[in-house]
Amino acid sequence: MYKQITITGFGGQGVVLAGKILGQAAAIEDKLESTLVQSYGPESRGGACSAQVTIADGPIYFPYIQNPDILVCMSQSGYDKQYPTIKKEGVLVIDQDLVKPVDEREHFAIPCTRFAEELGNKMMANIIMIGFFTAITGVVTQEAARNTVQGSVPKGTEQKNLKAFDRGWEFAQATLKGRRHKAAGQVGVVA
């Protein structure tokens, strides 16, 4: 396995923390190799930022990513900048309320910022995205991601963040189930 992941958004969304959580989940919990390269502008909030995470079951010789296997976009400006770099067969994951794709490419979408607001703190959108990403891609295990989230968030917020992670995970499960039913030719509401 060798997966290159770019997470992009704007400062204040927790993009770099999301990359750190994924890398740690892979390396510490799942016993894989991982690297993290982060990039952000001089602004602390509102400026473009990204995290590049490589996860592999063998050595990683170069940590910088030019053409990701998976692109996670949490802002339109991040999408606009990074979309041309995704591999042709790559997986695109977006915050559906903040990113409008420019073409018909298949993608996975979740309203993670809206869900975070519903949970009482839009700062948890990145944790919701991690839950969604984990279920959609399977790059790290659910247990590894949850354990890393719990150990990475501020003390006293662990349970709220785990609830946010689970919200993303559950939405991904429903998304995948819907796609399986559609592929099987089933229409309508399926329990």
- Whether 114 shows a pLDDT value over 80: the answer reads yes
- State yes or no: pLDDT of 101 exceeds 80: yes
Range of the domain at 36: 2-183
Residue 190 lies in a domain: no
Supply the pLDDT for residue 151.
Answer: 93
Average pLDDT score over residue span 121-137: 94
d(CA 34, CA 174): 29
Q: Is residue 93 part of a domain?
A: yes
Question: How many domains in the chain?
Answer: 1
The DSSP symbol for 177 reads H
The reported pLDDT for the residue numbered 188 is 56
State both tokens at 121: 């703190």
pLDDT score for 187: 59
- Is 119 inside any structural domain? yes
Residue type, 103: D
Residue 191 lies in a domain: no
Pairing of strands 2-10, 48-56: antiparallel
Which pLDDT does position 21 carry in this prediction? 96
Query: Has residue 159 got a pLDDT over 70?
Result: yes
What pLDDT, on a 0 to 100 scale, did the predictor assign at position 31? Answer: 96
C-beta separation of 115 from 171 below 8 A: yes
CA angle 73, 102, 74 (to 5 degrees): 15
* 189 part of a folded domain: no
What pLDDT sits at residue 44?
54
Strand pairing class (70-73; 2-10): parallel
Is pLDDT at 14 greater than 90 in this prediction? no
**Range 150-166 average pLDDT:** 94
188, part of any domain = no
97/153 Cα distance (integer angstroms): 25
When pLDDT is averaged across residues 170-174 and rounded to a whole number, the result is 94
Residue 21 forms part of a structural domain: yes
Quick one: which of 55, 57, 54, 74 has its CA closest to 127? 74
* Whether the Cβ atoms of residue 80 and residue 101 lie closer than 8 Å to each other: no
* pLDDT for the residue numbered 71: 96
| Domain membership flag for residue 128 | yes
CATH code where residue 85 lies:
3.40.920.10
pLDDT higher than threshold 80 for residue 42: no
More confident residue, 188 or 140: 140
Query: Is the pLDDT confidence value at 121 over 70?
Result: yes
Give me the pLDDT at residue 12, please: 80
Mean pLDDT, the chain, rounded, equals 90
Is it the case that residue 102 has pLDDT exceeding 80? yes
pLDDT of 91: 95
